[in-house]
């Protein structure tokens, strides 16, 4: 798609702050007005559109993509998306530890256990830890508490939480990211702990390195989106 606009601005609306292209409201792929809940997010989305050259590259506009997802998808599927996100808690990455080699087990405990402890205090949701890959049962009360925390998110925060959970493979890490317990780099490191250990042992090929860079960029964009929702 070619760029046919010259002027990108933000404009207050009754529902929040919108973005305009040559005075016309920016639309989502679903043809809804792209109205943001904070001026900070609107400015950042506008900057993505202003930075486009002759050809518009949607992949270079992660904030726009997350906002459109919140409006087009989450707003009309809030319950089902909440359930999908909450489902990660039953087999959360941080609950599955290695028993060998000892160095990996120690690193997992050092990085992941503080996150489990944080979730216990923050959501009253203690989680059981196991070794190996066979699923372990989690306390029903903890799963309900985490599901309630997910369902309580507004459409924009749930869009961010959904993206972060999918990227990290962990609801606990994603919640810690959105709540400010972890920054983007720490969330990426926690979610990629096992992979990073293997890379240290055996090295990394170019394709895998590219995937990790893309994943880190996705997590960083999601963290920025969540931060901009605060003002």
How much is the pLDDT for 198? 92
3-state secondary structure of 21: strand
Q: Exposure pattern of 202-217 as b/e (b: 16+ CB <10 Å)? A: eeeeeeeeeebeebbe
pTM: 0.95
Tokens 């390195």 belong to 209
How much is the pLDDT for 104? 96
Q: What is the pLDDT along the chain (231 residues), one digit of tens a residue?
A: 899 999 999 999 989 999 999 999 999 999 999 999 999 999 999 999 999 999 999 999 999 999 999 999 999 999 999 999 999 999 999 999 999 999 999 999 999 999 999 999 999 999 999 998 788 899 999 999 999 999 999 999 999 999 999 999 999 999 999 999 999 999 999 999 999 999 988 888 888 899 999 999 999 999 999 999 986
How much is the pLDDT for 208? 86
How much is the pLDDT for 221? 98
Q: Rounded to 10 degrees, what is the CA torsion of 209, 212, 216, 218?
A: 120
178 token code pair? 């959105």
> Rounded to an integer, what is the distance from CA 130 to the centroid of its chain?
25
Contacts of 170 (CB under 8 A, 6+ apart): 88, 92, 93, 94, 190, 191
How much is the pLDDT for 205? 86
| Strand 24-25 with 16-21, pairing | antiparallel
All domains in the chain, ordered by first residue:
8-72 (3.30.2180.10), 77-228 (1.10.3580.10)
């Amino acid at each position: 798609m070619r760029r046919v606009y010259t002027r990108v601005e933000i404009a207050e609306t009754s529902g929040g702050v919108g973005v305009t292209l040559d005075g016309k409201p920016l639309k989502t792929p679903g043809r809804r007005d792209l109205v943001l809940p904070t001026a900070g997010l609107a400015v950042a989305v506008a900057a993505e559109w202003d930075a486009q050259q002759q050809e518009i590259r949607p992949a270079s506009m992660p904030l726009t993509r997350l906002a459109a997802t919140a409006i087009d998808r989450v707003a009309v599927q809030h319950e089902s998306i909440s359930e999908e996100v909450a489902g990660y808690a039953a087999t959360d990455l941080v609950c599955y530890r290695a028993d060998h080699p000892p160095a990996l087990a120690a690193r997992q405990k050092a990085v992941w256990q503080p996150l489990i402890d944080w979730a216990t205090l923050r959501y009253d949701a203690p989680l059981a830890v196991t070794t190996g890959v066979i699923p372990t049962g989690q306390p029903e009360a903890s799963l309900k508490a985490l599901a309630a925390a997910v369902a309580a998110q507004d459409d924009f925060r749930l869009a961010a939480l959904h993206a972060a959970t999918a990227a990290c493979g962990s609801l606990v890490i994603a919640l810690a990211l959105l709540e400010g317990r972890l920054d983007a780099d720490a969330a990426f490191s926690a979610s990629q702990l096992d992979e990073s250990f293997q890379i240290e042992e055996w090295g990394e090929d170019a394709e895998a390195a590219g995937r990790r860079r893309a994943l880190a960029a996705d997590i960083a964009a999601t963290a920025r989106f969540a931060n901009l929702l605060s003002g």
